């Protein structure tokens, strides 16, 4: 049983110049890239998740746009699976569960964007489906949110969601810790 890396929605619209730029996305993507290289080197499975907006009035990840393309930072290799989704939960309306059932991973390592939306929804769904999950907290990014006319800073949104996922849904640790754990178990 091996780890499987799931990179969620690291798409151009989330990067500088995109339609929904996230706070800390460049740093998060750099850490995701480190994980991607380690998984490729170890010949462990990698699944890329790509969101295409199907919701009326959507302003980003629009079909056929450059913003909906996966960032060059984590471009899928020829043999890596790309799952296209239309909802925050990467399992909803996709073949992700069937793919994972064939892969039989011991642990899902999840990273990407947004911490408070697709990372949260995907991790909770994976846990509910019986998977062990690890979230690479420094390979995820989000944005400021507004609630009751108050701005909640991205760092606080991210920390709150990572804290909420940490028990019982996932082990929430850094990219460095994930790599160290893999090296110890190898």
| The pLDDT of residue 56 is above 80 | yes
| The pLDDT of residue 46 is above 60 | yes
Q: What is the pLDDT of residues 98-114, one digit of tens each?
A: 999 999 998 999 999 99
| The pLDDT of residue 11 is above 60 | yes
Q: What is the pLDDT of residues 67-95, one digit of tens each?
A: 999 999 999 998 999 999 999 999 999 99
Report the relative pairing of strands 145-147 and 150-152 from DSSP bridges: antiparallel
Span 20-48, mean pLDDT?
Answer: 97
| The pLDDT of residue 1 is above 70 | no
Q: Please report the pLDDT score of residue 185 as a whole number.
A: 83
| The pLDDT of residue 117 is above 60 | yes
Mean pLDDT estimate for the chain: 96
Span 42-57, mean pLDDT?
Answer: 96
| The pLDDT of residue 39 is above 90 | yes
| The pLDDT of residue 133 is above 70 | yes
Beta carbons of 52 and 82 less than 8 angstroms apart: no
Phi-psi region of 104 (alpha: psi -120 to 50; beta: other; left: phi over 0): left
pTM of the model: 0.97
* Contact partners, residue 21, CB within 8 Å, separation at least 6: 14, 15, 143
Which of 108, 72, 65, 107 minimizes the C-alpha distance to 90?
108
């Amino acid at each position: 049983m091996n780890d499987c890396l799931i990179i969620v929605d690291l798409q151009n619209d989330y990067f500088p110049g995109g339609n929904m730029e996230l706070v800390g996305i460049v740093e998060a993507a750099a850490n995701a890239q480190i994980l991607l290289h380690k998984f490729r080197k170890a010949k462990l499975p990698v699944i890329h998740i790509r969101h295409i907006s199907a919701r009326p009035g959507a302003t980003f990840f629009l079909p056929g746009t450059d913003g909906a393309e996966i960032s060059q930072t984590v471009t899928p290799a020829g043999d890596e699976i790309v799952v296209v989704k239309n909802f925050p939960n990467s399992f909803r309306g996709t073949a992700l569960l069937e793919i994972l059932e064939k892969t039989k991973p011991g642990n899902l390592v999840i990273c990407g964007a947004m911490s408070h939306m697709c990372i949260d929804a995907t991790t909770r769904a994976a846990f509910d489906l019986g998977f062990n999950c690890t979230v690479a907290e420094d390979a995820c990014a989000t944005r400021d949110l507004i609630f009751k006319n108050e701005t909640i800073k991205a760092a606080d949104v991210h920390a709150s969601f990572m804290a909420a996922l940490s028990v019982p849904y996932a082990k929430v640790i850094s990219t460095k810790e994930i790599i160290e754990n893999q090296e110890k178990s190898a």
